[in-house]
Amino acid sequence: MRSSARNRLPGTVQSVKLGGIMAQIDIAVGDHRVTGVITREAAEELELKEGDAVVAVIKATEVMVEKSGPEGDS
């Protein structure tokens, strides 16, 4: 499959949590975890299950980073 997205992280599905409309997919990427939220329909069409090899494709217009000060304020 071809895509314009350049942030592609191969990993392994750790868990699939199906909700009424949405599904939460936790993916192990090395020592890190990426969590994606997709439609339940998409998760079912992909037949996602624990242990599946997948690629987390990240297409975002921005990434925000926040750090609290020494007293815990922003």
What is the per-residue pLDDT across 18-56, written as a single tens digit (0 to 9) for each?
999 999 999 999 999 999 999 999 999 999 999 999 999
Architecture of domain 7-50: Beta Barrel (2.40)
pLDDT band at 11; cut points 50, 70, 90? very high
* pTM check: above 0.75: yes
Task: Count Cβ neighbours within 10 Å for each residue of 5-25 and write b for 16 or more, e otherwise.
Answer: eeeeeebebbebeeeeeebeb
* Selected residue with higher pLDDT from 34 and 59: 34
- Residue 10, pLDDT above cutoff 60: yes
Domain boundaries in the chain?
7-50
